[in-house]
Structure 1
Amino acid sequence: MIEINRSSILRHFFGCLMLTVCTASAVAAEQPSILFILSDDAGYGDFGFQGSKEFRTPNLDKLAKESVKFEQAYTTAAVCGPSRAGLLTGKYQQRFGFEENNVPGYMSFSGRTGNEMGLPLEQKTIANYLKERGYSTGLFGKWHQGDALQYHPMNRGFDKFVGFRSGARSYYEMSNEEQTAEPEKRLERGIGQFEEPTKYLTDLLADETIAFMTENKSTPFFAYLSFNAVHTPMQARPEHLKLYPNLTGKRQTLAAMTHAMDLAIARVLKSLQDLGLDKNTIVVYTNDNGGPSDTNHSNNFPLSGSKANHLEGGIRVPMLIRWPNVLQANSTYPYPVSFLDFVPTFVDLAGGDADAINGLDGVNLIPYLTGEKTSRPHKTLFWKKENRGAVRDGDWKLLRFPDRPAELYNIAQDQSELNNLANQYPDRVKAMYQQLFNWELTLERPLWQLRREYEGKAMKRMDKYKQTKESMSQ
């Protein structure tokens, strides 16, 4: 008969318990926090680190020197709502019908009103995935994934929300009349607690992000700082306007708004350092789509096109990723990457398995950035909005239009898309048309669609840039 030693059993039990706790703590300590900073409608060339001589962005320029800078970072759409849907889910948003901006005034095939249009509820977000891995999650600023309560950020994986549900709003306090007319633009804290800002909104969003990081400094967090800067309305702090006396009109206002955002980002990064979290926090800065040069006078040089079209100026954006001691500072990454890549990258870094998630279209970027993988993250990327579309295969890019012949460019040799090669390579045009068509067969029908007058404006914008390109090439 075996004699039971109660003392030994207790020692063994508590030893296993301590080992489990220590192991869990070690895993938590290895999970990097994530600070994801997204600006809105910024021009590709409107930052010092992107070559601007007009705008001063010293803090983002400093971040660029500490980061990997991406030479070819792409959004999944040329407008705000669909672009963010692709970012949040890691899937081409057309797969679940989020093809157009969701705003009041658009028509829905299912009869839904603007307030009922949003990110389909069966789609999980990056906040959902990270929350499952023990992360605290917070969103500060613009949501634009549905105005109705069922689409609210705190019903989509975020623990904390201070921002607004719609696609744009004032940078200052809205009047009672404005709040009544457009309730989806009100500044909201949590769910249903509305309180208008008492300071410039760019500054307030930075304050809230800092408070969230401070509250969660002992656990891994995902802080999504979703600026409405530099989206319209064009509203700048007067003291910042004075810093750009050589500029006028909207261009001066845009410079001042960009300046305010740069200062706000500096405060957030300084807080991260003061909290001792900067070494184990991944910092991402990027922008949601190309700058709308006609509405905020942004500059996408050297790219052609702008927000709402599939030229490079509509879908290629600045992007920086900083991760000390893991990614090489002050380096560049040359190959195309996509907003699709954030979900798999963050899930894997949080200790999850992105390969086990059904339907993701992105990849974990870290092995590519460290040199472990030397191939391209993506051989082929697609874009679509109604009957307009684009496909990039290797260095070749095809643009499909409803009212004119397709255009073909070699992006490696012609990033400004000035030399249309479609007539020289008809077989390639045909093959890439087929690629785009085959991809479209995998997509859902759009859940809603632009009214015709909005579509007409988008096509006029495309015509304008076609004329600009023709004059540049002469």
Structure 2
Amino acid sequence: MYRTIVTLCLWVICCTAVSAAKPNLLLIVADDMGYGDLSCYGSKQIQTPNLDRLASGGVLCTDGYVSGSVCAPSRAGLMTGRYGSRFGFEHNLSNPAGLEDEFAGIPLDETLLSQRLQEQGYRTGLVGKWHLGESVPGHHPLERGFDFFFGMLGGSHAYFPTVEKNRLLINHEPPHEIRTPYLTDWFTLEAIDFIQAEGKAKELDAQQPWFLYLSYNTPHGPMQAKEEDIEQYAHIHDKTRRVYCAMQACMDENIGKIVDTLESTGQLENTLIAFISDNGGSVEVSHAVNAPLRGTKGTFLEGGIRVPTIYHWPAQLPQGKVYDQPVISLDVMKTFVTAAGGQAPSAGETEPRKGRSKKNLPIYDGVDLVPHFRGESKEAPHESLYWRMALRGSAIREGDWKLLIPNSQLPQLYNLKEDVGETTNLIQDQPEMAAQLLEKLNEWEGTMERNPLFISAPTWSQYNKRLYEKTFSLEQPLPDSEEDIWSF
């Protein structure tokens, strides 16, 4: 009896200590990954056992969104917890040389997630892709709240770099040697070193809790994979799709190495992990599969903005939960800062900012998802979600309804509960619903603080028009059409 009581007391003490300690925070972002290209999201062609492990041990979101359909605007929203449209960041960076330094990336008056976590006593690291300001004073990751940086400032990079030919940086300096031949593997080695405060990150304080933004460029182009990974998919006839699958499998294997490191060092229990893709898969470039969604990267169809979203935190979150309310990547900021013991504005709230009147304070858009995942909050996290990209379109989702306004086509209205593939435009059957959503979208656009600071080259508008005009439906033959490569 005495031994039992002692055991119970020790268990309570241990649980209390875990819940009281600041969690480590790991944000993993894939690049242009298809919604239907994880086995936990239904793929029969690509097995992703390590991401499946995170999903089965945490929360898998069926309706997870990002705030932009291309890389940089999505990442700008992720780092701020605000729609990039609010501060003029709607497109990928274009001609930053023509902008004032303050605006050649995320405007310098925006507070980033990394800066908020530094204030909470975290050591902060970025490994991988930045794409939020290149070689412009004030916009380097080390000037935006990160203590350590290894990766590239731009939007893409070859996967087999050499000492003579690469655009990588270790903090501010180029590498003097290639640590391992394949970039995805190299990012993982640096990530593990940061977690353990070893290697090039050894000067950081290992006693601090840590925040790591692991920003893989996988499976963004160029389409390059290791031969041993390609061999696993030799049965796939289409070469591009074969390489894509190999790249995806390699990333999953590397994520497994990081999770194993956390487990072996006793950190997994109290590490909050969030995994997303920065936007939908690029059907044309990489032959990604977004099924059962229609559309692709660059559009506001579901295939461009709905992405795999997984949260894993054994100490605080339920295991094996499937969450079907709409969430968005903007929620990461509020969720992480709250978990760290800090405070950040929730959706609809403002925050004091030097030099701004009360009528012009920045509006925030994310919520803390933990109470929703735990069932403590029964309400949906968001009443509405919005998207806009100047000259290319806008959209709003409220409940099951979505109004889509591509600049190259007539408006479209879909009921996502009945038609997740967006195959039947109901705008003529439900004009009142369309008008109601349009009014809310117009009201949201009226809260923008800045006009777009930069706009992609005109050629991208033509490319975007072509993507909307194509029909990427479940009936269309896929790169490996003789196989049933997904199930839902």
Q: Which residue of the other structure, out of 272, 296, 312, is the alignment partner of 2:286?
A: 296
Report the secondary structure of 2:330's partner residue.
helix
Report the secondary structure of 2:28's partner residue.
strand
Alignment of 1:219 with 2:191, yes or no, is no
1:157-212 alpha-carbon deviations (Å, 9 max, x no partner): 00000000000010111474x55xxxxxx110011344464421101111111111
Report the secondary structure of 2:241's partner residue.
helix
Paired position in structure 2 for 1:6: none
CA distance in 2 between counterparts of 1:281 and 1:395 reads 33
Q: Which residue of the other structure, out of 323, 340, 346, is the alignment partner of 2:330?
A: 340
Paired position in structure 2 for 1:400: 405
Give the direction of change, closer, same or farther, for the CA distance of 1:470–1:206 in structure 2 (3 Å limit).
closer
Contact 2:91 2:389 in 1 (8 A): yes
1:34-73 alpha-carbon deviations (Å, 9 max, x no partner): 1111110111101111111111211111221111000100
Paired position in structure 1 for 2:364: 360
Paired position in structure 1 for 2:447: 442
Contact 1:90 1:343 in 2 (8 A): yes
CA distance in 2 between counterparts of 1:350 and 1:195 reads 36
The TM-score normalised by the length of structure 1 is 0.88
Q: CA deviation at 1:401?
A: 2.3
Contact 1:282 1:322 in 2 (8 A): yes
Paired position in structure 1 for 2:21: 30
Paired position in structure 1 for 2:192: 210
Alignment of 1:349 with 2:339, yes or no, is yes
Report the secondary structure of 1:374's partner residue.
coil
Contact 2:163 2:176 in 1 (8 A): no
Amino acid paired to 1:315: I
Q: CA deviation at 1:325?
A: 3.4
Contact 1:116 1:147 in 2 (8 A): no
CA distance in 1 between counterparts of 2:427 and 2:236 reads 39
CA distance in 2 between counterparts of 1:31 and 1:122 reads 27
CA distance in 2 between counterparts of 1:128 and 1:257 reads 32
Contact 1:28 1:220 in 2 (8 A): no
Aligned residue runs from structure 1 range 7-156, under 5 A: 30-102=21-93, 106-107=94-95, 111-112=98-99, 117-149=104-136, 150-156=138-144
Paired position in structure 2 for 1:23: none
Q: Which residue of the other structure, out of 360, 383, 386, is the alignment partner of 1:382?
A: 386
Amino acid paired to 1:431: Q
> Which consecutive unaligned segments of at least 5 residues does structure 2 have?
1-16, 198-204, 352-362, 478-488
Q: CA deviation at 1:464?
A: 1.3
Aligned residues: CA RMSD: 2.3
Amino acid paired to 1:259: A
Report the secondary structure of 1:317's partner residue.
coil
Q: CA deviation at 1:143?
A: 0.4
> Which consecutive unaligned segments of at least 5 residues does structure 1 have?
1-25, 180-185
CA distance in 2 between counterparts of 1:376 and 1:267 reads 34
**Higher-helix-fraction structure:** 1
Alignment of 1:187 with 2:176, yes or no, is no
Q: CA deviation at 1:298?
A: 0.3
Contact 2:128 2:216 in 1 (8 A): yes
CA distance in 1 between counterparts of 2:318 and 2:103 reads 44
CA distance in 2 between counterparts of 1:174 and 1:297 reads 27
Identity %: 39
Q: Which residue of the other structure, out of 234, 238, 262, is the alignment partner of 2:252?
A: 262
Alignment of 1:418 with 2:423, yes or no, is yes
The TM-score normalised by the length of structure 2 is 0.85
Report the secondary structure of 2:442's partner residue.
helix
Contact 1:47 1:57 in 2 (8 A): yes
Report the secondary structure of 1:371's partner residue.
coil
Aligned residue runs from structure 1 range 216-295, under 5 A: 217-248=206-237, 249-295=239-285
Contact 1:90 1:341 in 2 (8 A): yes
Contact 2:291 2:474 in 1 (8 A): no
1:387-417 alpha-carbon deviations (Å, 9 max, x no partner): 4100011111000122432100111111111
Give the direction of change, closer, same or farther, for the CA distance of 1:299–1:469 in structure 2 (3 Å limit).
closer
Q: CA deviation at 1:84?
A: 0.4
Alignment of 1:163 with 2:151, yes or no, is yes
Report the secondary structure of 2:386's partner residue.
strand
Paired position in structure 1 for 2:5: none
Contact 2:73 2:89 in 1 (8 A): yes
Q: CA deviation at 1:95?
A: 0.7
Q: CA deviation at 1:283?
A: 1.3
Amino acid paired to 1:229: T
Paired position in structure 2 for 1:182: none
CA distance in 1 between counterparts of 2:188 and 2:95 reads 35
Give the direction of change, closer, same or farther, for the CA distance of 1:217–1:324 in structure 2 (3 Å limit).
farther
CA distance in 2 between counterparts of 1:369 and 1:431 reads 29
Contact 2:408 2:465 in 1 (8 A): no
